[in-house]
C-alpha cells in the first residue's frame, strides 16, 4: 500500500457546493478503488492525505494535479505503508464557511480537529506530516 499528502490553493471562486461535488465524486471513486484518506479545506487551502493501492493513489493524484479548481499543488510526503491511518474514512470533510459560521462553532470545530490530530496514532511519516501541516494551517487566523 501507498500514501501521499499534498496541499493546494483553492481558486477564489470555489464554493462549498463545488467542494461537496468534488467529495461526491471522490467518495465514489475512492470506494471503488480502495482509497481512504482525509481532506481539510480551510481559508481557501486544501490539505489531503490519500492511502491505498499505489497505482490507484498515483492515478488519482495525477488527476488532482490537473484539476482547475485549485492551483499550487504541492506534494510534500509519500510513503509505502503496511497499514492505513484512515481505514474507515472514505473521505472525511467538514464544510467550513468562515463568513456564515458563528465564531464559537468555528472555534469548536478547530478544537475538535486539533484533538483528533492529538489522539491519532500515525503509523508513517506521511501521516505525521499531514497532521502537523493541518495544525499549522488551523493556527492561521481568519482575516475579515
Report the chain (144 residues): mean pLDDT per 10 consecutive residues: 95 85 85 90 86 95 92 94 82 57 70 78 89 85 65
Tell me, yes or no, whether 56 lies in a domain.
Answer: yes
Would you state the pLDDT for residue 144?
A: 54
Position 131 in a domain? yes
Look at residue 112 in the predicted model and tell me its pLDDT.
76
User: Using CA atoms, how far apart are residues 53 and 2, in angstroms rounded to an integer?
Assistant: 6
**Predicted pLDDT of residue 18:** 86
In a domain, 118, yes or no: yes
Tell me if 133 is assigned to some domain: yes
Residue 101 included in any domain:
yes
Instruction: Check if the beta carbon of residue 64 is closer than 8 Å to that of residue 7.
Output: no
Let me know if residue 143 belongs to a domain: no
Q: Residue 102 has what pLDDT?
A: 60
4: part of which helix (H) or strand (E)?
A: strand 2-10
What pLDDT is attached to residue 97? 58
Query: What phi, psi does 125 have (nearest 5°)?
Result: -60, -40
Q: Which domain holds residue 50?
A: 2-138
Q: How many structural domains is the chain composed of?
A: 1
Task: Specify the CATH number for the domain of residue 29.
Answer: 3.30.70.100
Give burial (CB, 10 Å; 0-12/13-18/19+) of 25: exposed
Indicate whether 144 belongs to any domain: no
Amino acid at each position: 500500500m501507498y500514501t501521499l499528502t499534498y496541499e493546494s490553493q483553492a481558486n477564489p471562486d470555489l464554493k462549498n457546493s463545488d467542494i461537496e461535488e468534488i467529495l461526491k465524486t471522490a467518495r465514489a471513486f475512492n470506494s471503488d478503488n480502495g482509497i481512504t484518506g482525509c481532506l481539510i479545506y480551510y481559508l481557501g487551502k486544501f490539505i489531503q492525505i490519500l492511502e491505498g493501492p499505489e497505482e490507484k493513489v498515483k492515478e488519482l493524484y495525477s488527476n488532482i494535479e490537473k484539476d482547475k479548481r485549485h492551483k499550487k499543488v504541492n506534494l510534500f510526503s509519500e510513503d509505502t505503508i503496511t497499514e492505513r491511518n484512515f481505514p474507515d474514512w472514505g473521505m472525511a470533510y467538514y464544510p467550513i464557511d468562515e463568513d456564515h459560521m458563528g465564531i464559537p462553532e468555528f472555534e469548536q470545530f478547530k478544537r475538535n480537529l486539533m484533538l483528533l490530530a492529538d489522539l491519532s496514532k500515525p503509523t508513517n511519516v506521511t501521516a505525521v506530516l499531514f497532521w502537523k501541516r493541518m495544525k499549522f494551517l488551523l493556527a492561521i487566523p481568519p482575516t475579515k
